[in-house]
């Protein structure tokens, strides 16, 4: 069951303008030479390394040796900073001050940081900071996009908290979520789905219809939809009406067929098909809030729903999912 009955409109396809690559003029080249004090090919090397770092900031397929690293997943946080901190402390990923304490652990957060609660900007900035802290210790934070991120990109602000620290005015929020905004510029590195340690993660259920394309293709489509040319006022104000396809009812940010399906055999068949297409062992999602505050498990451990209502807007239940090799452990408060 779910606490939310959100609906959304379908989207028409729209063109995506390719970004123009920046060129370095001769005076700029000389300046760069003086700054680094090295031959020019070193500058090229630095640029290539920068591109590599940008790619690493949005991991989508991280196959790990068995028992190599601990992976922890947490579900929807919905604008509640204090509860987010509490669940990360429960999982022993952060210390009392909220700083990364997980060493080389990997944290996967399955989306919906925004809406329902007041701490939108604070939570996003916290995760940007936490990601950098984790990297310094050899760890990693993998953030995924949820339907509420997509809704805010699109200008659908129906679920914004009245006291949201980002405000509720249309233009400032659209500016914050665009490709150069304080939030959007960072979310451009986030994906809609990722494979970590033989587990496929997404915000909502990943239907075989989409899984057959592979996660790299899905993430590429999502990025083009979100970070294409949305600069005209009309496009920015009304673009939410054009969301469909990957962001439609059966897409990986909205679909609830596996979570809510009543025919266990049919549900498990669909889940197994997705897992086989992606060559993974299990699926972990958020999105469909569990009223009892417990992680939903189906199909003998092939599928987990970890949205337990962490935010106070949904009941303030605490739970995280831990993966160590082939062992999956559900973490609850004592």
Is the model more confident about 213 or about 19? 213
Banded model confidence at residue 265, pLDDT cuts 50, 70, 90: very high
CB 128 within 8 A of CB 134: no
What mean pLDDT comes out for the span 271-294?
98
pLDDT value at residue 57 = 47
pLDDT tens digits, 140-195: 999 999 999 999 988 889 999 999 999 888 889 989 998 889 999 999 889 999 99
Percentage of the chain modeled with pLDDT above 90: 66
Task: Tell me how far apart the alpha carbons of residues 52 and 287 are, in angstroms, rounded to a whole number.
Answer: 31
pLDDT value at residue 53 = 39
Task: Tell me how far apart the alpha carbons of residues 296 and 298 are, in angstroms, rounded to a whole number.
Answer: 7
Q: Which two tokens stand for residue 253?
A: 């940010």
Give, in words, the CATH class of 60-331. Answer: alpha beta
Q: Per this entry, what is the length of the chain?
A: 334
Nearest to 108 by CA among 198, 20, 41: 198
| CA distances in angstroms from 215 to 191, 274, 323, listed in the order given | 9, 11, 21
pLDDT exceeds 80 at position 66: no
pLDDT value at residue 106 = 97
pLDDT value at residue 156 = 87
pLDDT exceeds 50 at position 241: no
Q: Looking at 75-89, 167-181, 229-243, 258-272, which range is the least confident one?
A: 229-243
Is the model more confident about 224 or about 176? 176
Neighbours of 38 (CB within 10 A): 12
Sign of CA dihedral 125, 316, 322, 151: negative
Nearest to 228 by CA among 158, 287, 179: 179
What mean pLDDT comes out for the span 14-28?
28
Helix (H) / strand (E) containing 44: helix 40-56
Task: Tell me how far apart the alpha carbons of residues 160 and 188 are, in angstroms, rounded to a whole number.
Answer: 21
Percentage of the chain modeled with pLDDT above 70: 75
Residues 6 or more apart in contact with residue 122 via CB below 8 angstroms: 81, 165
Is the model more confident about 39 or about 128? 128
- Specify the pairing of strand 303-305 against strand 296-298: antiparallel
Task: Tell me how far apart the alpha carbons of residues 74 and 51 are, in angstroms, rounded to a whole number.
Answer: 29
CA angle (74, 77, 80) in 5-degree steps: 135
pLDDT exceeds 50 at position 328: yes
Q: Mean pLDDT across the chain, nearest whole number?
A: 82
State the Rg of the chain over Cα.
20
Let me know if 211 is exposed, middle or buried by CB neighbors in 10 A (0-12, 13-18, 19+): buried
Task: Tell me how far apart the alpha carbons of residues 281 and 68 are, in angstroms, rounded to a whole number.
Answer: 16
Banded model confidence at residue 65, pLDDT cuts 50, 70, 90: low
């Amino acid at each position: 069951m779910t606490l939310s009955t959100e609906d959304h409109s379908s989207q028409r396809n729209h063109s995506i303008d390719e970004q123009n690559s920046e060129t370095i003029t001769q005076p700029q080249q000389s300046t760069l030479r003086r700054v680094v004090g090295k031959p020019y090919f070193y500058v090229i090397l630095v640029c290539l390394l920068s591109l590599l770092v940008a790619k690493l900031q949005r991991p989508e397929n991280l196959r790990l040796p068995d028992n190599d690293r601990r992976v922890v997943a947490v579900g929807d946080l919905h604008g509640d900073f204090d509860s987010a901190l509490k669940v990360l402390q429960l999982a022993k990923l952060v210390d009392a001050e909220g700083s990364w304490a997980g060493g080389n652990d990997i944290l996967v957060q399955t989306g919906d940081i925004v809406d329902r609660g007041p701490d939108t900007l604070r939570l996003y900035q916290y995760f940007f900071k936490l990601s950098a802290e984790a990297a310094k210790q050899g760890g990693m934070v993998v953030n995924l996009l949820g339907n509420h991120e997509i809704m805010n990109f699109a200008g659908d602000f129906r679920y914004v908290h009245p006291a949201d620290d980002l405000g509720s005015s249309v233009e400032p929020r659209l500016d914050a979520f665009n490709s150069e905004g304080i939030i959007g510029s960072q979310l451009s590195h986030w994906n809609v789905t990722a494979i970590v340690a033989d587990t496929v993660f997404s915000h909502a259920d990943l239907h075989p219809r989409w899984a057959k394309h592979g996660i790299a293709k899905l993430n590429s489509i999502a990025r083009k939809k979100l970070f294409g040319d949305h600069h005209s006022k009309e496009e920015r104000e009304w673009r939410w009406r054009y969301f469909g396809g990957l962001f439609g009812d059966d897409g990986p940010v909205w679909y609830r067929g596996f979570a809510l399906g009543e025919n266990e055999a049919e549900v498990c068949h669909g889940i197994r098909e997705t897992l086989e297409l992606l060559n993974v062992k299990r699926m972990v999602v958020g999105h469909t809030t569990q009223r009892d505050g417990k992680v939903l498990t189906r199909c003998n451990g092939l599928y987990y729903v970890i949205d337990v209502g962490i935010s106070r807007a949904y009941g303030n239940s605490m739970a995280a999912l831990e993966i160590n090799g082939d062992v999956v452990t559900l973490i609850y408060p004592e």
